C-alpha cells in the first residue's frame, strides 16, 4: 500500500508526463513554510536596502525581486533543494546523477509584470534528447494564486517540436497559458521543455514568495558555479547529498580532480 506521499508523487509523475508540470500540495508543514519564508523576507529586504535586488535586464518590471545564491543564505533553503519529494520527482525526469544547477528565489510584487514565455533548456542544441535536460522545482512559500502571479504554463508544450521557436512565436502563445496555483507548502515541478512564465501580480499588496531549485543533467554546466560561489564556511555545513548535487561526485569521468583516480569520490 503506497504511503500518501508516494501516492502524491505517483500522481505528479503522471501529470509531468502529460502536461509537463505537476503540483504536489502539502509537502512542507506550516512551520517549515514560516521558517523559510521569514528568512527569505529578511534577506530580500536587506538586498533591496542594499540596492542589489534588481537586474535591469529582467523584463518583469521593478516590482518583482530575485534573490540569488540561496545556498549561502541559510540551511533552510538547502533543505528545500534536497527535499526527498523534490529529488524523487526530478529523479524521474533526469539521470539519477542529476545536479543542482542553482537555488534562487522569485518574489512577485504588486504590479509585477509577467515574465516572458520560455522553456528552461534554451541552451541545449536541437534536436533534443527524448527526456528533459533540466527540471525546476518551485516551492510555494505563500498561496500561489492567479492574482498574485502564480506560474503560467502551456500544458503539454513539452511534447511539441521546438524547432524554429523564437521569442516572438513563444510570446504569441500567451493566450494558451493557464495559471497553476497551490497552497503554501506545495511545490510545482517543471519539465525543462514546457512553455511557462511568472504570472502578473495584480494584487494591491501581496508578495508571492517562491524558491526555485533548478536541476540539470550531470553532463550540463551548472547555472551557478558552486566551486566559486559557495562561501568557505558553507561547504562544511552541506550534507553529503548536497555535495553530490553541487557537483562533487564524479560522473563518468567528468568532474575529476587531477584525474579520475587521484581523490576518489569528492563527497
Ligand atoms: O517564478 C515563477 O513563477 C517562474 C520563474 C521562471 O519561470 C524562471 O525563473 O525561469
Rounded to the nearest whole angstrom, what is the distance from the C-alpha of residue 4 to the centroid of ligand 1? 28
Range of the domain at 191: 4-248
Q: Measuring from each residue's beta carbon to the nearest atom of ligand 1, which residues come in under 6 Å? A: 106, 115, 120, 138, 151, 196, 198, 210, 212
Closest C-alpha residue for ligand 1 atom 5 = 198
Rounded to the nearest whole angstrom, what is the distance from the C-alpha of residue 105 to the centroid of ligand 1? 9
Whether residue 220 is contained in a domain is answered as: yes
Whether residue 29 is contained in a domain is answered as: yes
Residue 267 pLDDT class (50, 70, 90 cuts)? very low
197 Cα nearest atom in ligand 1: 7
Q: Over the stretch 188-210, which tens digit does the pLDDT of each residue have?
A: 999 999 999 999 999 999 999 99
Q: Over the stretch 229-260, which tens digit does the pLDDT of each residue have?
A: 999 999 999 999 999 999 999 898 898 888 87
120 Cα nearest atom in ligand 1: 10
Work out how many domains the chain is built from and give that number: 1
Q: Over the stretch 122-181, which tens digit does the pLDDT of each residue have?
A: 999 999 999 999 999 999 999 999 999 999 999 999 999 999 999 999 999 999 999 999
Whether residue 92 is contained in a domain is answered as: yes
User: How far apart (Å, rounded) are the C-alpha atoms in residues 196 and 160?
Assistant: 14
| C-beta separation of 137 from 215 below 8 A | yes
CATH number at 216 reads: 2.60.120.620
Amino acid at each position: 500500500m503506497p504511503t500518501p506521499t508516494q501516492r502524491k508523487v505517483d500522481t505528479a509523475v503522471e501529470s509531468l508526463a502529460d502536461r509537463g508540470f505537476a503540483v504536489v500540495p502539502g509537502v512542507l508543514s506550516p512551520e517549515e513554510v514560516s521558517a523559510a519564508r521569514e528568512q527569505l523576507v529578511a534577506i530580500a529586504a536587506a538586498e533591496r536596502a542594499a540596492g542589489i535586488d534588481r537586474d535591469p535586464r529582467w523584463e518583469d518590471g521593478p516590482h518583482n525581486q530575485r534573490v540569488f545564491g540561496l545556498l549561502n543564505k541559510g540551511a533552510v533553503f538547502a533543505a528545500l533543494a534536497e527535499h526527498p519529494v523534490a529529488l524523487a520527482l526530478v529523479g524521474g525526469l533526469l539521470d539519477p546523477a542529476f545536479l543542482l544547477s542553482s537555488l534562487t528565489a522569485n518574489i512577485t510584487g504588486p504590479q509585477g509584470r509577467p515574465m516572458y514565455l520560455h522553456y528552461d533548456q534554451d541552451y541545449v542544441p536541437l534536436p533534443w534528447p527524448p527526456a528533459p535536460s533540466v527540471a525546476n522545482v518551485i516551492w510555494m512559500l505563500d498561496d500561489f494564486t492567479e492574482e498574485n502571479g502564480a506560474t503560467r504554463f502551456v500544458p503539454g508544450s513539452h511534447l511539441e517540436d521546438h524547432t524554429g521557436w523564437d521569442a516572438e512565436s513563444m510570446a504569441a502563445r500567451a493566450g494558451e497559458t493557464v495559471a497553476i496555483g497551490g497552497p503554501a507548502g506545495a511545490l510545482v515541478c517543471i519539465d525543462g521543455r514546457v512553455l511557462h512564465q511568472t504570472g502578473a501580480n495584480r494584487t494591491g499588496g501581496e508578495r508571492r514568495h517562491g524558491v526555485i531549485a533548478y536541476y540539470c543533467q550531470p553532463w550540463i554546466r551548472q547555472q551557478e558555479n558552486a566551486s566559486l560561489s559557495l562561501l568557505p564556511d558553507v561547504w562544511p555545513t552541506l550534507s553529503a547529498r548536497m555535495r553530490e548535487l553541487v557537483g562533487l561526485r564524479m560522473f563518468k569521468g567528468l568532474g575529476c580532480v587531477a584525474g579520475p583516480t587521484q581523490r576518489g569520490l569528492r563527497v
